[in-house]
Structure formats: structure tokens, C-alpha cells
A and B are shown apart, each in its own frame.
Chain A
């Protein structure tokens, strides 16, 4: 059977995210716990997590998490990496052996820094450089898949139910100020570790529930700008879109949300503030091909915050709640209650209305 990248596979999902606005570091236990009540939203064919602030000791280095099919591919890849990066640390990511998780690949992480001379040669900024290398690894090195590439953050994913994946990766041993989780319900695949979510590029990671109908329009547009959608998943293309809009076009998160979940023209027409109206119309006109249609609820993680967003018709469930400095986002309220029974202000954001939560300044 074909796997991700060879074919486009629709799937249903559960998503969850927890962030401390005060920047307090939380172990991975809670985010794993939040996924338990949403067990039935996954089917055991993919689960994953992303944690931010988990590698304080290596915070100046890009943490590359990579799956390898075999020792040989690892060796080839390491040789490749050495051409572009200084590798300050290379290690196997610690895991637990457990019957629920099988067929694991070799899972390694590398803390790396780009060679400054190469950067200068290629006239690229550091992040673009790293993004391109990661893209190269994933398209050119077979049997190798880099699934996490940000600084002071990391993604952990596997084939299995999310709560088992959390246990597998020993997430209780990590501490981060923000966590995201994903449980997957793919419809026709045996599941592939690389295909599990979150999907991460640099420090952008996305968990997503939905099946976007604009996929190929978005993909074919974004691929004009050097991105290669190897997985053919929504999450991948949305990640690239966000990267393109925020990192490369310099849009704010809200502006980016106004592109991908653009207000209807009729809504823009009713906008009372002329400046806002002009900006919304402008963004829609300039980036029509980045409008994402069809159902989605996503949480985008980045350094220092998260953004939760629904498609503009709100065709997927997503609720937000809070307690003290902690903000929770999940597909179901039950997920929030499982972690914080006393969560307050639970609400369902409107379609296309971004919910952006950032760690307060100076807390990191």
C-alpha cells in the first residue's frame, strides 16, 4: 500500500494544546493526559506531540529529530549533515519499549549550527538555510525523514494512539512552557511514523484536524517558493503556508490568519474600519491561492506562543479554556477538563477568528 507522500490520505483527528502565559515549564504529562478522553478521535495509526522550551541547554542550536530506516541511511545522512552543519550533539531519542508501539525506526536527534561560511556563500539567512537543508533531506535522502528542526523545541511522533506515543517518548521527563498534541484517524493507511503529526518546520509546528478542500491549490502555489510537499498532508502544506506568510512575507499571525481563513467578501464589505477593510481586501487579493477552504482546526506552535484557528465556516470543533496563566485548546472540552477540571472561560472561537496566546515578554 502507498504511504504518505505517495498518496493523499484524509483523516480525522484530535488536537490539544497547553501553554503557560507566564512561561512556567510543565512536564509532558498533562498534554498526554488531555488526549486520553479523545481516544476515539484517533484510530491508533498516528499520534504525536511538540514541546517548546524543552531544550534550554541547547537553546541556540537547531534540534533536528530524524527517523532512519536503517543504520546505513543514518550514516549517509550524518555525512550529509556534516557538510552543512556543525553537529554539537548527536544522540538516540530515549524511548520506552511497549507492546502498543511497534516497528519503530531509528530515532535520533542532532543539535546543530549552520556553518556561517556556507550561509554567506548562499546569501541566505540562517532560518532559510536550515529550512532548505531539511527540505533537501526529506526529498533527496531516501529512508531518512527529518520531522523536527526548531530551536529549543521538539516534536515526538509515532504510529499508535497518542497517549501511548507520549509514554513511548517518556514525555514526563521533558519540561516545556507550551505543548501540543495530535491523535490521528487516517482512513486508508497502515500509518507511517513520518506521517504522524505535529508537522514541524523550523520552530513552526502544526497540529490539525480536518481535510482541506483547497489542498492542491495551496500546494501548487506554495511549491513555487521552494517548498516541497512530500507528505501530501494538510498539516504539511499549512505549515509551509504559515512559514511563507510569517517568516518570508513578514505577516503577523493575525494577518496570516486573515489570509488562510480570509473573511468573506461580504464580511469585508461590512467592516466599519476603512483601514482594516482595505488591509483585509488587500491580503485576500494578493494571496488568493493561500485561502484554505474545507474543514480545519489547527494549532500552530512557535517560539513563545501558539495560535489556534478554525476554518471560516467552523466545520471542525475546537474549544479554548483557561485557568490562571495556562490556556488550553482542544478538539473537545473533555480534553481540557481532564487536565484542569476547574478550567474557566471555555468558548468556541468563531470560524476564521485566530486565538493567539503568547508567553509574556521576558518570561523566557
Chain B
């Protein structure tokens, strides 16, 4: 019997542990970790390939974290079935673990379309876990040509990570632009240009349709030869535990601000969930690390009987390639303010006296000020937007607001 059971040992899980412990110092906590690693920052895997970090430094928390927190971690096992009525979890090892409250933070899994001939490819990988990275790391060398299917965040970070270790990298995507989920055409082009300048080749609007050992046949009929294939088409939230137990699930597990699912004593947090995007005013999957932590934390506090809601989630991303960064947040709707130079773009979207979203490429300093305006729904009429749109600065705030922000403990 565990007072608190956490399924998934990633960022949401860590947030959940810390949330619980901020309220309850003694209740027993058990974590089911499918991966055989202590929690690590998932996005670090590209930096691992790149050599910017190593296994010693990838731990999200210090090595004695679980011990200090009084957490029992079960490594290498997966939860098969959740029984909220009984308060039990069945593991793939066959054992059951009774719990008081459970947090489902099962994350997401790579989505692999059914390509023809994929099984003939020897050296093929997803790029989701540390084990994926370790596997790629084992085969990557200067003689290798890499084909990455998918020009999204994962695919491109993988490309960056491998760039200096392999002979050649080609990224293909059915979409016409890179980072299509967060960048518009113009921004994507700027980013693509920068990537190309750093030696990444692209085949856009033209993805692989079939494979033959070391050859990919593209939709256009072109063929691309490769030694390593990386599939980064997309991810899907792991929702089945809750869905199977009868909980409400859309694309992700539906949660409220306290991270409660529709099932009794069952909470969920992280990439597997679907919460309210306040910039959009709709529920959606916000599979980003900060949200995972904050959701996890809110879930933990709620599970332990405390009061914490996470209800100002927005999508936001800081993504950089070869020292060139793009920052995005919120939704891109409403009036547009734009500021462009040859190597930078800034787009601010405003609606109903609110900043709704932005894309910033190249001039990212103090972008958090914009982010917070979206999150806090600060009326733009309360500050000097003329100054603000030119640069993210609290100088655009009224002196009173600045005094509030800077004048005391926050």
C-alpha cells in the first residue's frame, strides 16, 4: 500500500513528488518508472548527443533526491491496468500495488506511421528517451548519413545533436515548413535558412513513403540514401490507463486545474493530459516540460490535501539551433505587431486588450516579460504598449506596477 502512487518517473512525476512533500512530509510515495533511469530532462537527449551534457549531469534532481524525499521507485516496470474502485494498479510484472491516490504521468509515445518496408531498415530509431539517445550514440560516427523523418521540435533537435558527429543529415517532412506546429511560414523560413547554413539538408513537403534497407523513397519519387533513420513524426499521449478505467479522455486525459481526472482518487499530469490553454480558452495537450512540472506539482499538492491549481497554462517553447533561438508562446490570433530585420523576427498577437501570443526569433532577451503578460492576462491598456512592443521591458509598466514587481519579495 502506498499513500501516493505516481505512474511515470519524468518531470510531472518529480513535480508531483515535490508537490506532495510540500504538504505531507510522511505519507508513503511509490513511483513506477518504465525507464531504468532516474528522472532526467527529456529534452536533454539532443544535448547529450551533441556532447553538451553527459549522463552524470542529466539527472533532473540530485542523486539522493528519491531518498531524501522518501520515495520508493520501481524501475523497469509499467502499469498495465488501473482500478480506481479498488485503488489498485496492476503492473506488467503481474504484481498489484494498492494506493491511496494515484497520479498518472505516463507521458507520450512516438507515433510511427505504418511505412512500407520499415522493417527492412536496420538502423532505425525514435528520439524520445535516453535509451533512444544512447542507441543512436552507439551507432553515430563520421561515416554515417542520417535521415530524419519529421522537421518538428524533436527531429530538428536530433539533427542539431548529431550534426557534428555524422557525415550528413537530411530532414524531411510532409509539411512545407520546419517547426510547423509553432512557426508560421516566414519564421520557419528564417529558421530553416539558419539550419541550412549550419549544414542540415531539407526535403520539405515531401516525406518518405517507403523504405528499402538504406534507401527511402519519397512521395515525390526521389530517393534518399541513409545509414541511420530517425523517425520523429509525432507523439501521442499515453492515455490508455485512464481511458480503460473509464476516465474521460480526449486527445489527452482530461484534468481540471487541480489535476484531478474524472476518476476518483486519480490525478494526471504532464504530456499525457489535456488542460486548459488560457491563451486559447480551450483544452489541449500542452506537451511541454514547464507545464509538466507545474501540473505535477499541482497534482501532488492536491493529492496530499493541499490547495493548488495550475490554471494559467499556455503553450510556450524556447528552441534554439546552433545558437539561434526561437521563442514562442500562446496563440497566434488577433492583431499583429511585427518587427523584422534580416536575421530576426518578432510577432506579437493582441486581442481584447490582451497579449495572446508571440513568436520571437533572434531577439529573445527578456521574452519572459511577454510570456507573463499572456499568462497573467495583463490588460495592455494598463501599460505603455508602444514601448512594450518595441522591446520586452518592464519600462513599459507604470511606476506603480514596477514597484509592485520589483519593490518587495515576490
- Find out whether A and B make contact in their complex, taking CB atoms under 8 A apart as touching: no
Q: Give the interface of A toward B (CB within 8 A).
A: none
